[in-house]
Structure 1
Amino acid sequence: MSVLTLRLAGPLQAWGASARFVRRTTESAPTKSGVIGMLAAAKGIERGDDEALKPLAALRFGVRIDQPGTRLRDFQTAHHGITGKSMPLSERFYLADAVFVAAVEGEPELLAGLHAALRAPVYPPFLGRRSCPPAHPVELGVHDGQDLLQALGQEPWQASTWYRRQYRQETVVMLPVLHEAGKDDTDPDVLRDQPLSFAAEHRRHSLRTVVRKEVAIPNPSAAIRRHTAPAVPRHDPFAALEEESA
């Protein structure tokens, strides 16, 4: 098996697993449906092509939270294109200044094709919504012969420099990882985030199980410990006076 890792960073991200009418929320980390949708778009898979989507949806998914970001709320208005009538006010949530490392595990040939597609995508990637472009190219690389947790444990810390400075006294940081539950994992959470179809007329998702773990990652911004300086000789300002009096 191999693992394809992605760096998901940008001014704004929005990873919604549910939407009720005019309220569009975001999860605290990228969703599987959002990342698989990005990969499908890079490959040029059309929204209604459910058969072409199946191999991508079967990939095992995980995400590491390198920089959690800040949740923002925005209000948006719109008007009907034909009648000009005002549409209902919508409430939308975003993650600002967040950085994640997402990973998918599968067959080497499939992941190599996805990696190539991300380098020359048919449709441009976005971070959950079209209004959220990535700040950098999203592909990091393919890790051959590794599983999901091994790859997420070896990828360098991708957080911004200003964020890493807060942890400069720590040589190693513990980063949360959310990944699909295996047969040995207990007490998983359930999320309706397994993509079945991205067709506009009948988008469908099923349930998947998620567990939370941590991985230890070296901190490149850790403060350098300096060698102990030689002891400074004790200075007595009255020593000279004592010598003269003697």
Structure 2
Amino acid sequence: MPADPTPVPAPDPQGEDQAVLVLRLAGPLQSWGDRSAFNRRDTPPQPTKSGVVGLLAAAAGLPREADITGLVGLRLGVRIDQPGTLLRDYHTVSDYRGRPLPQSGVNAKGVQKPTSPAKDTHVTHRYYLQDAVFVAAVQGPAGLVATLAEAIRRPAFPLALGRRSCVPTQPIALGTVRTGALEDVLADEPWQAGTAAKAAYRRRAERGPDPFSPHRIDLAATFDDPAGDDTLQDVPRSFAPRERGFTTRRIRHAWLNVPTGLAPSAALSAASIPPTPPTTTAQPATAAGGHDPFALLGW
């Protein structure tokens, strides 16, 4: 039996102090469905607001018919720490009794019509993100965020990364509740990619033709922003089965320079980084040297 639902306070209209809850969303598979059409279940390349709100609602033990206004009002930021790869899961569906499959439409009595001509097998495609890591942060009234932080650590229902079959690999909550701007909190949170991705980044930093320090990395992020220049239709009105629907939100895309948590190895030193060539003054071409087309560039 699930634990008792966690009371989720409504937003304070008087303007309560703001706080930020940081979540690590990582697992073998994730699928943040933003649209479904008959035999196809897609996933966008990063978590949706409906998916994050659903995860928080499950942690708090809210029933599907519960009012989620307070959760939808939270400001969301998502950082892509490890984009992963797209996986297509191929399915065939048939009736175990050997009967032809019914249509999606129903007759006047509310009974599904048989397919014509008879169809015994139906093909479906479901898409997942594999080996992806995201850092999501929600900002809102401090009381509400503190309640959700406790619920994430002791969830009433099992938590999933989009679909129920997509379980997280590590504790979702990253540390304690933070204060400050949402953008600053996501920029300060160390890189959460897996060990293999971090090792590959170190190799690129230290062994490439132009070595650089592995201390920091640029990561793509998306933020709720009323003045944003892009929109997503992933804000849930309700999770009730008969009242499901979505509205749009405005978002802003950005790049964050994030600490990696990696220390440079002994191979990376001042001696291993090629010095910047000195700037030279272009000299007029001579008869002996001929015309140099790159002289004006100082090369």
The TM tier, using the shorter chain, reads 0.7 to 0.9
Counterpart Cα distance in 2 of 1:149 and 1:81:
52
- TM-score, normalised by the number of residues in structure 1: 0.85
Q: Which residue of 1 aligns with 2:244?
A: 203
Partner of 1:70: 85
Paired amino acid for 2:78: V
Report the 3-state secondary structure (helix = DSSP H, G, I; strand = E; otherwise coil) of the residue aligned with 1:64: strand
How many Å apart are 1:39 and its aligned residue? Answer: 0.3
User: How far apart, CA to CA, are the structure 1 residues paired with 2:218 and 2:270?
Assistant: 29
Query: 2:80, 2:135 within 8 Å by CA — same for their partners in 1?
Result: yes
CA offset digits 1:194-244 (Å, max 9, x no partner):
111111122111011111101111222353246679xxxxxxxxxxxxxxx
Q: Secondary structure at the match of 1:215?
A: strand
Tell me how far apart the structure 1 counterparts of residues 168 and 121 of structure 2 sit (CA, whole Å). Answer: 29
**Correspondence 1:164 to 2:198:** yes
| Unmatched runs of 5 consecutive residues or more in structure 1 | 230-246
Paired residues of 1:73 and 1:94 also in contact (CA < 8 A): yes
Answering whether residue 59 of structure 2 is matched by residue 21 of structure 1, we say no
Partners of 2:28 and 2:135 lie apart in 1 by: 16
CA gap 1:82/1:152 in 2 versus in 1, 3 angstroms: farther
Q: Deviations over 1:39-96 (max 9, x none)?
A: 00111111112x2x11001100110000000011111234558887566221000000
Instruction: Check the 8 A contact 1:167/1:222 in 2, yes or no.
Output: no
Structure 2 counterpart of 1:177: 221
Structure 2 contact 59–154 (Cα < 8 Å) conserved: yes
The total of aligned residue pairs comes to 224
Of 159, 167, 172 in structure 2, the residue corresponding to residue 125 of structure 1 is: 159
User: In 2, Cα distance between the equivalents of 1:197 and 1:94?
Assistant: 24
Say which structure, 1 or 2, has more relative contact order (CA 8 Å, 6+ apart).
Answer: 1
Task: Write the distance in 1 (CA, Å) between the matches of 2:157 and 2:93.
Answer: 26
Which SS does the other structure have where 1:220 is aligned? coil
Residue number among 199, 213, 237 corresponding to 2:254 in the alignment: 213
2:107 is matched with: none
Q: Is the 8 A contact 2:178 2:185 kept in 1?
A: no
SS at match of 1:56: helix
Partner of 2:3: none
For residue 135 of structure 1, give the secondary structure of its aligned residue in structure 2: coil
1:94 aligns to 2:160 (yes or no): no
Which range moves more in the overlay, 29-38 or 164-173? 164-173
**Residues 1:136 and 1:87: Cα distance change in structure 2 (over 3 Å):** farther
Query: Aligned to 2:55, which of 26, 32, 38?
Result: 38
Q: CA contact under 8 A between 1:10 and 1:97: conserved in structure 2?
A: yes
Q: CA RMSD in A?
A: 2.0
CA distance in 2, matches of 1:204, 1:135: 30
Q: Distance in 1 between matches of 2:133 and 2:270?
A: 37
Partner of 1:134: 168
CA distance in 2, matches of 1:87, 1:150: 52
Q: How far apart in 2 are the matches of 1:192 and 1:152?
A: 23
Structure 2: 5+ residue stretches without partners = 1-17, 102-119, 206-213, 272-299
Q: Are 1:5 and 1:139, in contact at CA under 8 Å, matched by a contact in 2?
A: yes
Q: Tell me, in whole angstroms, the C-alpha distance in 1 between the residues paired with 2:254 and 2:50.
A: 21
Q: Render the CA deviation track for 1:135-154: whole Å, top value 9, x for unaligned.
A: 11111134433121111011
Q: 2: distance between equivalents of 1:175 and 1:35? A: 20
CA 80–206 in structure 1, closer or farther in 2 if over 3 Å, else same: farther
